[in-house]
Chain A
């Protein structure tokens, strides 16, 4: 039973998070910062594109170094 639960959890982890959990954490953090900035008078739209520009090369670099 525990093995099945583990397999179920592993499937959903792999389905949603994928190969690099740092990407998921980075996206959630960027969304939280976007929300925070959007409550001020500063434009917040540029934060997620910036997150893409930072997260993708870092994740790729880690994969290539492996």
Chain B
């Protein structure tokens, strides 16, 4: 895996999570108080940076084979869950992730909540909403940075990729002061699901003692093969959906 591929994989995964966190912070700032929302965001980012800084060296100290086994297993479980949701969304069996709708829901809830000042934070609700949004969405980012970075012995590059994604997405979000509904989030999640599944399969098998034919080059086959398989499943589920819709009136007769 080259540095460019590591950067791209982490950047895309982190960008998806950053879009979701930005929506929550925007709702907290717009409906409540920008200062409290920014304070919650800043402290949330500090917590995430501390997690990466503390766990990074600890994870790097684990022997590579054990690390790949555990990380491979977790990435494969994560990847299959992401891919499962992405296939269900792409085939119409689950509603698409709609940032505009999520923003409206968060905005309404934030407007309805009562105001309270705590620990010199003017609006505690806006603070906690932003903090929770950043930390919960960012935990996956921290996990991806640590797993991809440690496996490639380059946590700093993975951290820079994650940070770059957060800066780009958050910058765009605050520039337009609106949820990033035009970001192709569902497509990005599909791509990230494929990458997590492919890397989880590769590292998990290596950690369990298997040897891939062609060594690292096997990834060049795994990624497109999993992508094709997922696309095939989307088409199959769309056909099942269409057939069940067209079969329903016939059953009435």
Contact = CB atoms under 8 A, between A and B. Distances in A.
B205 A48 contact: yes
Contacts of B74: 16
Contact of B208 (A16, A20, A23, A38): A38
B84 A38 contact: no
B27 interface: no
Most buried by A among B69, B209, B237, B240: B209
A27 B208 CA distance: 12
Contacts, number: 100
Contacts of A20: 81, 84
B176 interface: no
- Dominant secondary structure at the A interface: helix
B197 A52 contact: yes
Nearest to A62: B84
Interface stretch (B100-108, B151-159, B184-192, B221-229): B221-229
Contact of A27 (B76, B94, B225): B76
B26 interface: no
Nearest to B80: A23
B44 to A, nearest CB: 16
A63 B88 contact: yes
Contacts of B42: none
A16 B233 CA distance: 24
A14 to B, nearest CB: 10
A44 B80 contact: no
B248 to A, nearest CB: 15
Nearest to A34: B208
A41 to B, nearest CB: 12
Interface residues of A, number: 32
Interface string B72-113: 111011101101110110000110000000000000000000
A24 to B, nearest CB: 5
Nearest to B241: A64
Interface stretch (B11-19, B53-61, B116-124, B210-218): B210-218
A52 B209 contact: no
A52 B222 CA distance: 11
Interface of A: 15-20, 23-24, 27-28, 31-32, 34-35, 37-39, 43-45, 47-49, 52-53, 55-57, 59-60, 63-64
Given A15-B139, A16-B74, 5 more contacts: A31-B73, A31-B208, A52-B226, A59-B84, A64-B240
18 contacts: A16-B77, A18-B78, A24-B77, A31-B69, A31-B73, A31-B208, A34-B205, A34-B209, A38-B208, A38-B210, A44-B211, A45-B205, A45-B210, A48-B76, A48-B204, A56-B84, A59-B84, A63-B93
